[in-house]
Amino acid sequence: MDLILHIILLASGVVILWKTAELLVAGAVGLAQKLGVSSLVVGLTVVAMGTSAPEVAASIAGVLRKAGGGDLAVGNVFGSNIANLALVGGLVALIRPLRVQRQTLFREIPVMLLVSLFLWPFLRNSHIARPEGVILLAVFAALIFLTVYAARREAKQPNRKIESLEPDVKHGARSVKKNVLFVLIGLAGLALGAKMAVDGAVFIGIEIGLSERVIALTVIAFGTSLPELVTCVVAATKGHHDISVGNLVGSNIFNTLLVTGAAGVVRPFNVEDRLAGGTDYWIMIVISAAFAGAVIIGKRVIGRVCGSLLVCAYVGYIIYLLSA
């Protein structure tokens, strides 16, 4: 009976995560449209923050647990980053080849790789202390400031085309108050859904003999990556490539800095060696480099062939995790 109840708990948590993340993103995008922000900036900031909220909530819920919380938090970050680029990016490219702006290739994607490498020295001693969490959050805040500053400066340049969100879509038609309400309800729902998903997944995983590292890298990581998947698929079908790419790249930056940093500030935690700059960490780095390589090889277009290879890489990663 306990197993059935926790399966229901996990399923309900994932559904709440998905639905409330959509609500959060809808409200945030509506507000962004009122401000006339470009699609890329929306993807890198507002949408990425909205779809990364489940990772933040799930990782904080993880470290608040007494045993194995650090493995859940960091494993969720690695697993979500890998799922974002390999699974979500690959599926989106299969649906519709993904176009990447030149500035994204030479600025945002390298920043994503550097941020991932920046995490390595913090994990080397298998412990994230509260001051280290503060440093990660400070770097995150600085990157957000620089992104907004660069977007405002570029917007003022003459003869520069900035792709903007369609002004007549339903998101932009809502009032500011309604969009704010959507954001607040979305945040509250994400916290609840993350707690339910963590509790249900951990219980089920332990019952079937999985380690907490595997649970975090698979079940929880996939569940918290659902908002990215839905957002990117919808954006791709509508031709908003900047939102898709910005969401994927921005979410990985958010996960690495904001999720890890916030979890460390809430409660310092330990992680096992494989997550502390070991095998799983370097798999995340390789997948990130592979995504960047797909953009370069396709001359700023991730086609269906590269998309299928990325999805295959994710499937291979899951098989490796379950067999390791």
The CA distances from residue 24 to 170, 225, 259, in Å, are: 14, 15, 18
Q: Return the number of other C-beta atoms located less than 10 Å from residue 157's C-beta.
A: 8
* CATH classification of the domain holding 220: 1.20.1420.30
> How many CB atoms within 10 Å of residue 261?
25
pLDDT digits (tens, 9 = 90+) for 219-231: 777 776 777 777 7
How many Cα atoms are found within 13 Å in the side-chain-facing hemisphere of 313? 26
| β partners of residue 249 | none
Contact 162, 13 (CB under 8 A): no
Domain that holds residue 139: 2-323
> If you average pLDDT over every residue of the chain, what do you get?
80
pLDDT in tens, 40-85: 777 777 777 777 777 787 778 778 876 667 777 888 888 889 988 9
- Could you give the C-alpha distances from 318 to 7, 124, 141, 229, 268, in angstroms and in order? 21, 24, 33, 17, 28
Structure-token pair, residue 305: 């062939």
Measured between alpha carbons, how far is 188 from 175 in angstroms, rounded to an integer?
A: 20
Please indicate whether residue 142 or residue 276 has the higher confidence score (pLDDT).
142
User: Taking the CA atoms of the chain, what radius of gyration do you get in angstroms?
Assistant: 19
**Which two tokens mark 221?**
């990581």
Closest by CA to 311, choosing from 88, 39, 40, 55, is 88
Residue 38: pLDDT band with limits 50, 70, 90: low
Q: Give this prediction's pTM.
A: 0.78
What kind and span of H or E run contains 159?
none
The domain total for the chain is: 1
**Count of C-beta atoms within a 10 Å radius of residue 27:** 25
Write the pLDDT tens digit of every residue in 121-141.
988 888 888 999 999 999 999
Residue 270: both structure tokens together = 């330990």
pLDDT-based confidence at residue 167 (cuts at 50, 70, 90): very low
269 Cβ neighbours under 8 A, 6+ residues apart: 63, 69, 70, 73, 127, 128, 263
What pLDDT, on the 0 to 100 scale, is given for residue 224? 67
Give 161-165 contacts, CB < 8 A, sequence gap 24+.
162/38, 163/38, 163/39, 163/40, 163/242, 164/36, 164/37, 164/38, 164/39, 165/29, 165/32, 165/33, 165/37, 165/39, 165/42, 165/240, 165/243
* Integer angstrom CA distances of residue 277 from 63, 172, 187, 238: 19, 43, 31, 39
Q: Are 34 and 55 in contact (CB under 8 A)?
A: no
The two tokens of residue 191 are 């916290």
Please tell me the distance from the alpha carbon of residue 101 to that of residue 109, in angstroms, as a whole number.
11
User: What's the confidence (pLDDT) of residue 162?
Assistant: 47
